Amino acid sequence: MGYYIGCDLGGTNLRAAIVNSETGSVEHLTIIPTQAQEGHEEVLLRMVDLFAELIKKSGMKTEEILGIGIGVPGMTDANRGMTTFITNLPGHWINVPVAPFITERTGIPAFLINDVRSITWGELKFGAGRGCESMVCFAIGTGVGGGVVINNQLVLGNTGQAGELGHITVDPHGPLCNCGNYGCLEQYSSGPAIRAAAIKAIAHGGTTILGEMVDYDLNKMTPEVVFNAAMKGDEIARKIFETAGMYLGIAISDTIVTLEPQRIVIGGGIAQAGELLFNPIRKTIQERVFLAPLEKIQIVPAELGNNAGVIGASMWAEHRIHS
């Protein structure tokens, strides 16, 4: 047993906590604004102060914290502990030696991991993936992220970028994605995609309560509004979630025939739509997968909620120290 710090570097907030590696319990969770507009060095200094505050709150000594794991929303060079490309944080994050900076100033070994790979690792250790040797995780929110575990190992690929499941092509003739490809899953099943579909339905004069639910102020449209409309029986709102689930089902079908994992774990804010999303996912998989026994593959919601990244990042530090 040991104690590790897990940190989620988000566009809006830094979330950090001390995690017990035996139980997965999260202690002294602290959330502060990232303030990324001040530049990466200021963010890293805030991180150092945050970790010092956590240790002080806990009453522990610095040497009792065995490692620090940091989940970042972008591409990393895990071996050197550097961010290589982050799209949704202001400032310069190309080739920033985050882990060495943190280690130097805290005296604690620090390790980097992509934020959704950290969610995947957290769900494997203490969440919906417990007991699995193979699983695939999709996190559906502002974007669509992913992670793959085979033989109890997180698959990072040749340079550490494996698991970008949001950029599986689900329609080769689809819209241009920010990544440069056309027809990525993220363009159909993410929060912004659901919001855009609702706005389009209103603009095209569809028979829907979506417009009146936001007083015809389209800036107020959110995936939650679309969910609430669907729950009230709005057919267009229901169809928007059906479409998102169908495209997710296509991507999941591809991962099943490639990897045949024991479990597919689906998390992120959009997954809170529950069966509205899961039903079309399962229907699409049944229609598309014939070369794997689907009765042996579970499709389940994530369990750790907002703490998944903090737990996963901390347990990634534990893994790196002991591997």
Instruction: Report the C-alpha gap between 311 and 267 in whole angstroms.
Output: 15
Contact present, 108 and 5 (Cβ < 8 Å): yes
Number of Cβ within a 10 Å radius of residue 142: 16
Confidence of residue 236 (pLDDT cuts 50, 70, 90): very high
pLDDT tens figures, 53-77? 999 999 999 999 999 999 999 899 9
- CA proximity to 155, closest of 223, 207, 78: 78
For the chain, the 3-state helix, strand and coil shares in percent, each to the nearest 5, are: 45, 25, 30
Q: Given strand 110-114, what is the order of strands in its sheet? A: 26-33, 13-20, 3-9, 65-72, 110-114
Tell me the CA end-to-end span of the chain in Å, nearest whole number.
Answer: 16
Instruction: Report the C-alpha gap between 54 and 243 in whole angstroms.
Output: 43
pLDDT tens figures, 201-229? 999 988 999 999 999 999 999 999 999 99
| Domains parsed from the chain with CATH numbers | 3-122+306-322 (3.30.420.40), 131-302 (3.30.420.40)
Mean pLDDT of 246-255: 98
The token duo for 35 is 């303030």
Residue 206 has a pLDDT of 86
Instruction: Report the C-alpha gap between 209 and 221 in whole angstroms.
Output: 12
pTM of the model: 0.95
Contact present, 78 and 113 (Cβ < 8 Å): yes
Task: Give me the DSSP letters along 95-134.
Answer: TB-HHHHHHHHHSS-EEEEEHHHHHHHHHHHHSTTTT-SS
Confidence of residue 85 (pLDDT cuts 50, 70, 90): confident
Confidence of residue 87 (pLDDT cuts 50, 70, 90): confident
Q: Residue 91: is its pLDDT beyond 90? A: no
Contact present, 139 and 268 (Cβ < 8 Å): yes
Q: Residue 320: is its pLDDT beyond 80? A: yes
Number of Cβ within a 10 Å radius of residue 198: 27
Buried b (16+ CB within 10 A) or exposed e, 231-249: eeebebbbbbbbbbbbbbb
Residue position matching structure tokens 């089902």: 249
pLDDT tens figures, 112-167? 999 999 999 999 999 999 999 999 999 999 999 999 999 999 999 988 889 999 99
Instruction: Quote the mean pLDDT of the chain.
Output: 95
Residue 119 sits at φ, ψ, to 5 deg, of -60, -45
Mean pLDDT of 231-245: 98
Residue 78 has a pLDDT of 87
Helix (H, G, I), strand (E, B) or coil at 106: helix
